[in-house]
Structure 1
Amino acid sequence: MPENLFDLSGKVALVTGANSGLGFGFARGLARAGSDIVIWGRRQEKNEEAATALRAYGVRVVADTVDVASEPAIVAGFSRALEAMGRIDTLVANAGIASQVPFTEMDVARYRQLIDVNLDGAVFTLREGARHMQARAEAGDPGGSLIICGSGSIFQGVPTMAHYGIAKGALNALAKALAAELGRFGVRCNVIAPGFIETEMTFADPEIGRRIADIVASKAPLGRAGTPGDLEGAVVYLASDMAAYHTGDTLVVDGGKMSAN
């Protein structure tokens, strides 16, 4: 039998915002490759639905209700994940929200609402993951993969979504710092930057979502908008031992749109 170079059997992944959309796509890809999964989300019923779907791949799945806008909730949730699984090998900081507001109309409440989840939530989740992976390395078990869900807004301005771009741009910079700081422990940190992906969030307004998807399809060389399944290969690669020398990078998965414009 051919060797499966991307087999994740024996590894454990924690994915935030994993009960739908991009997060579920990341979790599904990891589960399909054999990784056990911890999923975090704010909606318990959706968490359980996602966990049931992931268990169909024959892996252990733990679902936990965690709001990443709260640092204490993150710390407690990570502790529960370790208690349930014993270790975390892959952490995918994905949880996020989106909103639109002209920059000249931005107020503190709307700014902080997004930053609390998209930036601070990822920062403190990554901190807990880094602490665990560093401690494990110091005990003689090095290695780990920190993966951040980025965005095309890291590279291109999106009108009315400056606050979203601020969060994603900061996380892109953070990945470089974590790669430099944690490399001696065998811990890697990379960003996956999706283009427009058709999800529950991007289609919150179906008319606007379809219009954007059609525009993307007309500009992307591959002729369509993305789906969560299009991100599975990237996350499995970065979680695998085949990516052991890959850190501090940003992988763009956008159907070639940015290259063509």
Structure 2
Amino acid sequence: MKKNQRKYERYAINIPVLFMDDAKTNGRMINVSRNGCLLVVDAGTQIPLRKEFSFQVFLDGKTYPTERTSPGINVKDLSRLKPSGLHEVRITGQVMRFTIHEGKEAIGIQIIKIEKEDFMKWINFVVKKQNEQEVFNFGVFDDVDLKYQKQERRKYQRFTIRFKTSEGLIKFFPSTEQEAFFIPTDVQRTQGTRIAVSLIHPESQDVLQVFGQVISFGPDPKRNNKTGLFCRIEEKHTESFKYDVNNFLKMKLYVI
């Protein structure tokens, strides 16, 4: 790959951003790709490299926060209490690089997770309907995650797969819960790595989370040697796997 060649296509945009910090930092998102974005920030904004932080994006480019604080509530708490609007998305990202964009300070962000209620808004914003199956290197945290402490949740490598057709979605699932399933990705992980895959139904837009462990990384001869992760359903989730998949697909894929 050439030095200046981007791995994923970037889309030029210009929409407002509000950082979920006590400083009430403002910014603009000026481009976006499958797994990241570039933010122009207020001069002097101090965010260390590799730092994780949360911010709110306004997809329509018009909506802008008018209420930032309330008596006794900081901006972080206010964000949690107020539901996202139709065009608002809350994102957690990690700072990957610093740069200058048109004379202004900018930071390159890798997206780590999207709030559950905002997940599909963001996916549909980034991905066009006619695109092929897409694999994103981030996931959504749903109600299942509430059972785990924060440190436990961090142990999962998260992916999102957006399917173009129902046929492609059905083919993703293994014949039995003991067999392997395949995630096409260039993200290499060692055997035993725990993964959480968010599957997006192409028709209903419902999301199903599948929890598993990596068996190996390499090419799959069944998919024109496409490289990716071979995984198996995590043992503690095998009991509910068949029920969850059948309910998700609205069909009896697995005999129970």
Higher helix share: 1
Q: TM-score range by the shorter chain?
A: under 0.3
Q: Structure with the greater relative contact order (CA < 8 A, sep ≥ 6): 1 or 2?
A: 1
TM-score, length of structure 2 as denominator length: 0.25
Give the number of the structure whose alpha-carbon radius of gyration is greater. Answer: 2
